[in-house]
Amino acid sequence: MIENVGRNMKRLREQYDVTQEELAKIAQLSRDTISKIEQNKRNPSFDSLDRIARFFNVAPVDLFGSPDEQKVHSTTAMLDRINETLDRLEEYRPKLEQIHKLAWEMEGYSPYQLEHLEEQLHDIFSYFQPYTPTDEDGVPKTDRNGRKISSASRYSELPIKEIDNVYKQLQEIKKFNVQSD
């Protein structure tokens, strides 16, 4: 296995278009030592191997292994990455389905309607965000030390009873429309 190190190191160096001088700096070796390792006239230390492997972002098998061992390792690593990707996709599937459903529902709206909806949502969300109260001229209110006063949210200002009544009315209309279809 150690006999593969020189050949594999040279292959990686050429694959990434790295000179022996550049690799020598990374491995903290001389260019002559890199040349001897590539010719299998010298073996690198474990520290040098570690620096070289990290530089090329490869596993030790990619430096020590034969071409067949590298193929097996690459296949296993690739399958692991595919499985990780599939796991992540499963995690996001419900979110993607919601986005797809929302996109489908929004197809019937004009750009103007969507802009108006965005404004309405912004207004609604502003009730739940911290804010700085202002006077009638739009000047931020301050405390006695001149610091701006900050309030947690304007949620308490929402007309909850009226909103609830409108919601109930909409539900009744919705029931009526479903029954008439």
What is the full per-residue pLDDT of the chain (181 aa) written as tens digits? 567 888 888 988 898 899 999 999 988 889 999 999 899 898 888 888 888 888 888 876 678 766 666 555 556 666 777 788 788 778 888 888 888 888 887 788 888 888 888 898 888 888 888 888 888 998 999 988 989 888 888 777 788 899 889 989 989 888 887 776 6
| Polymer length of the chain | 181
DSSP H helices, the chain, are 5-15, 20-27, 31-38, 46-56, 60-64, 67-106, 111-126, 160-180
**Phi, psi (5° rounding) for residue 144?**
-65, -15
Q: Which amino acid is at 144?
A: R
* Residue 71: CB atoms within 10 Å: 11
Domains in the chain: boundaries: 2-65, 129-181
Check residue 18 and give its pLDDT.
Answer: 92
Instruction: Identify whether the C-beta of residue 52 lies closer than 8 Å to the C-beta of residue 26.
Output: yes
Check residue 67 and give its pLDDT.
Answer: 65
Cut 0.85: pTM above it: no
Give 2-65's CATH code, choosing from 3.60.10.10, 1.10.260.40, 1.10.10.10, 1.10.630.10. Answer: 1.10.260.40
